[in-house]
């Protein structure tokens, strides 16, 4: 008979830690394929992984996350062209996120759910950095999936999920997307240019579906905070203007930076510490009010 008691799961804790990191690295290897192929509209399944320079297939022993890159000296086995450091970086980031999710939530339903969400956010980040777009393949199905898990959390106890209220999931979805859409319209009216892409709207809507109203608002505040500090620093250093073509085909020239990575960063902060941050802030407000 299988034993799923807390005591038995506790004994397996070291094994789960290792498995989480290993699985994260393996998923990270697949995410590299997604990041490279999604913007080009290519299948992420076929053909199998291959060198983008010489197009030779990559054997399984040359595709071990991080280790293969180190063993090969950051070069393709066949053509000897350099392999970008971003490949092992993405694998390592995904491994760290998977490990962090397991440490935070433990052996509950929330763990695989948030692992998959974290992996999706890694893809969003690097695609947006490269292409200034956010894949609809992630955000569009992510909205109903987030709502579905809020329903599951409402019906099943002990899931560990951060949101168990489908109504708050729906409101979070529309509020998250609606606020960004409204800000974009204001930018269009005031500055005669778009402030952000519609992909950002859908991304925050998806996170609102997973984390509800409080989550959507805190993620937006955190994204604006990170974006103002990091974005202004990048602009000050590079001073490079970018040409963006909007949905109407009009070109806008300015200091454009992808906002998606900051939304992702805010989403990850909420996933790992959001409720605690809100509780801390409300506590500070009470102290200030008392004083």
In a shared domain, residues 138 and 103? no
HSE at residue 269, side-chain half, CA atoms within 13 A, is 18
In a shared domain, residues 140 and 230? yes
Q: Residue 240 falls within a domain, yes or no? A: yes
Torsion on CA atoms 98, 102, 104, 106, rounded to nearest 10? 160
**Is pLDDT at 240 greater than 70 in this prediction?**
no
**Is pLDDT at 111 greater than 50 in this prediction?**
yes
In a shared domain, residues 230 and 276? yes
Give 223's strand partners.
Answer: none
Q: What is the mean pLDDT of the chain?
A: 87
The predicted-structure confidence for 126-176, as pLDDT tens digits, reads as follows 999 998 899 999 999 999 999 999 999 999 999 999 999 999 999 999 999
Mean pLDDT of 212-221: 95
Q: How many domains does the chain have?
A: 2
Q: Residue 115 falls within a domain, yes or no? A: no
Higher pLDDT, residue 229 or 218: 218
Q: Residue 90 falls within a domain, yes or no? A: yes
In a shared domain, residues 269 and 150? yes
The predicted-structure confidence for 11-64, as pLDDT tens digits, reads as follows 778 899 999 999 999 999 999 999 999 998 888 888 888 887 887 888 888 889
Domain that holds residue 192: 133-291
Dist CA 239 CA 230 (whole Å):
14
The predicted-structure confidence for 158-172, as pLDDT tens digits, reads as follows 999 999 999 999 999
Q: Residue 122 falls within a domain, yes or no? A: no
Give the model's pLDDT for residue 51. Answer: 80
**Is pLDDT at 267 greater than 70 in this prediction?**
yes
In a shared domain, residues 181 and 87? no
Q: Residue 1 falls within a domain, yes or no? A: no
What's the token pair of residue 40?
């080009």
Give the model's pLDDT for residue 291. Answer: 46
Q: How many CB atoms lie within 10 A of CB 185?
A: 12
What's the token pair of residue 227?
């974006």
Q: Give the SS3 label for residue 285.
A: helix
């Amino acid at each position: 008979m299988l034993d799923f008691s807390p005591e038995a799961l506790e004994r397996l804790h070291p094994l789960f830690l290792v498995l989480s990191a290993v699985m994260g690295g393996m998923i990270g290897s697949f995410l590299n394929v997604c990041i490279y192929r999604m913007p080009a509209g290519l299948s992420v399944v076929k053909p199998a992984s291959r060198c983008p320079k010489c197009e030779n297939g990559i054997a399984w022993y040359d595709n071990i996350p991080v280790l293969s890159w180190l063993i090969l000296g950051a070069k393709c086995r066949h053509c000897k062209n350099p392999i970008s450091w971003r490949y092992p970086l993405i694998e390592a980031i995904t491994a760290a996120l998977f490990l962090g999710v397991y440490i935070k939530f433990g052996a509950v339903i929330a763990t695989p759910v948030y692992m998959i969400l974290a992996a999706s956010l890694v893809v969003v980040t690097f695609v947006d950095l490269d292409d200034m777009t956010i894949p609809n393949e992630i955000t569009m199905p992510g909205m109903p999936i987030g709502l579905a898990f809020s329903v599951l959390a409402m019906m099943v106890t002990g899931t560990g999920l951060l949101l168990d209220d489908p109504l708050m999931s729906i409101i979070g979805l529309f509020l998250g997307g609606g606020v960004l859409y409204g800000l974009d319209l204001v930018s269009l009216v005031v500055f005669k240019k778009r402030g952000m892409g519609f992909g950002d709207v859908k991304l925050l809507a998806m996170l609102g579906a997973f984390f509800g109203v409080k989550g959507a608002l805190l993620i937006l505040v955190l994204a604006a905070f990170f974006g103002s500090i990091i974005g202004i620093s990048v602009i000050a250093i590079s001073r490079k203007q970018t040409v963006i073509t909007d949905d109407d085909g009009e070109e806008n020239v300015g200091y454009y930076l992808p906002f998606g990575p900051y939304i992702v960063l805010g989403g990850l902060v909420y996933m790992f510490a959001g409720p605690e941050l809100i509780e801390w802030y409300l506590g500070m407000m009470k102290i200030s009010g008392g004083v």
